[in-house]
Each structure stands twice: as C-alpha cells, then as structure tokens.
Structure 1
Amino acid sequence: MLKKLSLYAIAFALVAGPGQTGAASSADAQALEKIKQAGVIRVGVMGEQAPWGSIDAAGQNIGYDVDVARLMGEELGVKVEFVPNAVAARIPNLLTNKVDVQMAVMGMYPDRAKAVQFSKPYSGLKIVLLSSKKNKIETIEDARNLRIGVPRGAAQDKAITALLGDVPNIRRFDDDSSNMQALVSGQVDAIGGNTTYKINLDRAAPGNDFEQKLVFNEQWQGICTKLGDASINAWLNQFIDKIRADGRLEKISQKWLAEPLPNFPQSVEGVPFAVK
C-alpha cells in the first residue's frame, strides 16, 4: 500500500519540480485559457471499460464519461480530443500534459487528492468482488485462498490489499479488460471490480455465472486537473452544477447506467472539491 501511494508522490514530484509540490507552476495555472485559445480540450477516458468509456465498431469513443466530456466541449465552445488511458497511467498522463483533464473513472480518494485536484463528483459506483456462484464468499476472509485479479493500482487493488495484505495470490493486471478476461479464462477465481463490470462480463461470456459477492466501498468520481489551477477547477464545478440542474447529467445516467443520479455527497473526507 505504501509503495502504491509513493508512486503518486513520485509522479507528481517529477512534474512539479523542486519547490512546487502542492501547487501548480504559473505556466500550468492557465489551463482554461490555453484550452480556449487552442480550440480543443484533451480529455482522458477509459478505452475498454463500458459503460464509462469504450470504443464502438466505428472506432468512436462512447460512454458516460465521453458524453459528459462532449457537453464540456459544447459549453467551452471547443472540440474534444479523447485520449484512452490505462488505469496506472491516468495520473501520470495528466501531470505530464498528455491530457488537459482526466475523466477515466477517477475515484475520489485522499492519496490521489495529494497529486491532482478533483472537481465535485459527477458520477458514482461501488467497488466490489465478483466470482462464480459456486464460490461461497460472505466475507473477504472466505476469498483469502482464492486467486484474485485486480487492475494494478486501482481502487479495488487498494481495498483488497488493505484487507488481506499483499498476499501472493493477488494477481495484478494492466487494465480492466485484462482483469475481466482473467476471470473468464479461469486464470483467477475472483476479481475486484466495480458495479458496471457485469455488463462487460456478460458481453464477453454470455450465460456466465459470475455474481457480485462483496461491496468494499462506494466510490465517487470527479474530473481531475492539476493542483493549484483555480480557474479550470471553478469552471468545472460550475459546469457540473449546470448539467445537474438542467437534467442533462440525469439523461446520461439513465442512458448508460439505467438508473437515476445518486445523491452526491457535499464533501469527501480528504478530498477538496475546490482549490484552496
């Protein structure tokens, strides 16, 4: 757990440079103006995790996060360029300027908030354990001796490792699709995932007997920008308020999750929604 946390700190330190930890440089503090001048916003999304972000048969980005990003471009009056992300590359891609904002299912956690600035939440899900109906799992201890797959560095990796310790039967994969494929192919007995994994598992293996066994925590997602950039953070919070109020975010939730928007929290411990 400490090793994973240090990766965020190292990545941020490499980008921020000496004397800039905890605040963006003056060059990075004008992201909103640069986006407007360029006429394009580069948005980090998942490429293989429906319904949040995936690629359709025509090669187009689709999903919940993609639709929100398109609304963002409309409000800014700029084009949207989508940048698919591996799970472990999400924060580094933001900090090294490969994207302007990161929206690749970015769960709001205190360790991440030390490296990036979160907006208010705009979506949510639950972090869960999935396995075959044949496996009786009522507590995480029931899964201790099973081979458990997780995407490396993701929220489910941290949740399971915190509960079981860094045991050798936790198998870490580079992305969500590899993690799910490991379960389908029998490389692992269970996987840490989220409440929308079942959509992809049913698509990959119709008629499977995988089911949700445990819920580790409820996760809220925010839009990530660099630390200290108050202008783009303030704009994003106003944008989220607007699309919630006018019903456009509700339509996206119904379209991709087939459920109404949850009651978003007013605060998440250790995760400020605004630049201080």
Structure 2
Amino acid sequence: MKKRVLGIVLLLVCMLLAACGKSASGGDGDKKQLVMGTSADYSPFEYIDTATSEDIIGFDVDIAKALGEKLGYEIVVKDMDFSGLITSLQSGKVDFVMAGMEPTPERSKNVDFTDSYFRSDILMVVAKDGDVQSFEDIKGKTVGVQIGSIQADKAKELQKEVDFQVETRDRVPDLVEELKSGRFDGVLMEEAVSKGYLKNNDSLKVISVPNNETIGASIAFQKDSEFTEKFNKELAVMKENGELDELVSKWFGGVE
C-alpha cells in the first residue's frame, strides 16, 4: 500500500515538473514567442508559395525572424486581412504588425511605428492593350485598391485631379483578377509588389501616377510598447552591417 501511494506521489511530482518546464520554455526550447500579424497576399513582402508549402514567407518574414533571433524570441506569423491588422494589434491578438505598412498620421494615432526599413513608390497596373495608357485615361473609369492600404488613401488624392470610381477588395490577388477580367480598369499598387504580377501576366503593364512617393514600410507595435525601441536598435544594426541589403537583394533583386 505504501509503495502504491509513493508511486502515485512520484508520478504527480513528475507531471508537475513537466508542466512547469513546458510553461517556462513556452513549449519551444527557451525562447519566448512574439506573434506577427500580416496579410499574406503581398508578394514579395509576405505570401504563401503553395507549390512548395503552406508556410508564410517573404521579405518581412525574414526581417522579423532575424530581429526575433537577435532579441531571443521565436516569431509566429499569423495571416489575416490587411484591414484588420491594426485592430488585432490594439486588442492584443498579435504582438506586432509587418505587412509593408506605412506609418500614416491616422495609423500613428493608434499604434507606434519603428523607423522605415524599405520604400517603394506607388504606380498603377493596367491592361497592356486596354483603354488606359496614361493616368489621364483613367477618367470616368474604375480603379481597385486594397481596403485600408496606403493606395486607398492615394486614390482619394488622385480623384482630386482626375474623376474616377474606386472599388476595394481585401486581398491584392483579388484586385488583379478583377483587372484581368475587365471589371477594373486599373489597380494602384506598390512598384515592388507589381513586378511579380507583371512577370506572371504578359497582358499587364504599369503606368505612373502623380505624387507617387511613399514614406516607406515600418513595423507597428502597440502604443508605448517596449519593443518599438528594441526593434529600432536592431534594425539600425541590420542597416549598418549589410544584413538588410542582403534581404533586399534576395527578395527584390537588388538594393534600392
């Protein structure tokens, strides 16, 4: 009887120690986790190459994982619609956001941003043989933009110069499909993102739009987060030692 009781006690102690060990390590070695919110429809920043795996890969993912490694965190990437990223960050569903996101004044009211790590100008993707061959040709036609994006803000500015209709979609691939089907006459997009679509679609080309410069992509954190400055310091190191340039070359084919 005593041996049986002792065995039960030892078993309970082992289970307790195992549980404590798992809690302390976060279930993955000694690294704690940070959840990165993104919208995996924005190649080459973040996307899923379904031909190889279901993992989210891309420029932003590589930067995030490099920063996490330097600071001792495992980065877990969570996919969601771009329009819901800021809300998810504010509510604590994710720890930070990387999605080629620009720190606009409106966004900066709700979250904090690091310094910019990459900049790409805005242009318009159109059908190569379509009616739109210059920005002025978009008058009276329909332009697609991603909900909540900097391109949506840019469309409002451009409407002051030329009158056109704006329609939104949650995902960039949906915008391109609408363009290819003829439901849209143009899609506003970052130059770096457009290259992949032009490479895979011979029927598309790009045209320039006025005032197309951007501030550049940054990492978003909750207001007054301790991580904003920590990530900023490591980003500065990556810029200085050439790590960031290597990732730019890897994903965009060259240093801007």
Q: TM-score range by the shorter chain?
A: 0.7 to 0.9
Inter-CA distance 184–204: structure 2 relative to 1 (3 Å threshold): farther
Is 1:170 the counterpart of 2:163 in the alignment? Answer: no
Q: How far apart, in 1, do the equivalents of 2:193 and 2:69 lie?
A: 30
Is 1:53 the counterpart of 2:46 in the alignment? Answer: yes
Partner of 1:44: 37
Matches for 1:188-199 after TM superposition, within 5 Å: 188-199=184-195
Matches for 1:262-273 after TM superposition, within 5 Å: none
Query: How far apart are residue 38 of structure 1 and its match?
Result: 7.2
Tell me, yes or no, if the aligned pair for 2:38 and 2:97 is still in contact at 8 Å: yes
SS at match of 2:188: strand
**Structure 2: any 5+ residue segments left out of the alignment?**
1-29
Is 1:119 the counterpart of 2:135 in the alignment? Answer: no
Q: How many residues align?
A: 222
Query: How far apart are residue 197 of structure 1 and its match?
Result: 3.1
What amino acid is aligned across from residue 46 of structure 1 in structure 2? S
Partner of 1:217: 213
Tell me, yes or no, if the aligned pair for 1:127 and 1:155 is still in contact at 8 Å: no
Matches for 1:126-275 after TM superposition, within 5 Å: 126-134=121-129, 135-139=131-135, 141-164=136-159, 169-202=165-198, 204-205=200-201, 207-214=202-209, 216-229=212-225, 231-261=226-256
TM-score (norm 1): 0.74
Return the structure number with greater strand share. 1
SS at match of 2:118: strand
What amino acid is aligned across from residue 192 of structure 1 in structure 2? L
What amino acid is aligned across from residue 159 of structure 1 in structure 2? K
**1:14-51 CA distances to partner (integer Å, 9 max, x unpaired)?**
xxxxxxxxxxxxxxxxxxxxxxx971111122312110
Q: How far apart, in 2, do the equivalents of 1:221 and 1:259 lie?
A: 17
Tell me, yes or no, if the aligned pair for 2:198 and 2:204 is still in contact at 8 Å: no
Query: Percent same amino acid among aligned pairs?
Result: 22
TM-score (norm 2): 0.80
Matches for 1:91-130 after TM superposition, within 5 Å: 91-130=86-125
What amino acid is aligned across from residue 58 of structure 1 in structure 2? S
Query: How far apart are residue 80 of structure 1 and its match?
Result: 1.2
Q: How far apart, in 2, do the equivalents of 1:121 and 1:62 lie?
A: 20
SS at match of 1:221: coil
Instruction: From the CA coordinates, give the structure whose radius of gyration is larger.
Output: 2
Q: How far apart, in 2, do the equivalents of 1:248 and 1:46 lie?
A: 24
Q: How far apart, in 1, do the equivalents of 2:204 and 2:171 lie?
A: 22
Query: How far apart are residue 212 of structure 1 and its match?
Result: 2.9
Query: How far apart are residue 138 of structure 1 and its match?
Result: 3.7
**Structure 1: any 5+ residue segments left out of the alignment?**
1-36, 262-276
Partner of 2:74: 79
What amino acid is aligned across from residue 252 of structure 2 in structure 1? L
Query: How far apart are residue 85 of structure 1 and its match?
Result: 2.8
Query: How far apart are residue 224 of structure 1 and its match?
Result: 0.6
Q: How far apart, in 1, do the equivalents of 2:110 and 2:38 lie?
A: 18
Q: How far apart, in 2, do the equivalents of 1:198 and 1:186 lie?
A: 18
Partner of 1:264: none
**1:205-224 CA distances to partner (integer Å, 9 max, x unpaired)?**
3x223223325222411111
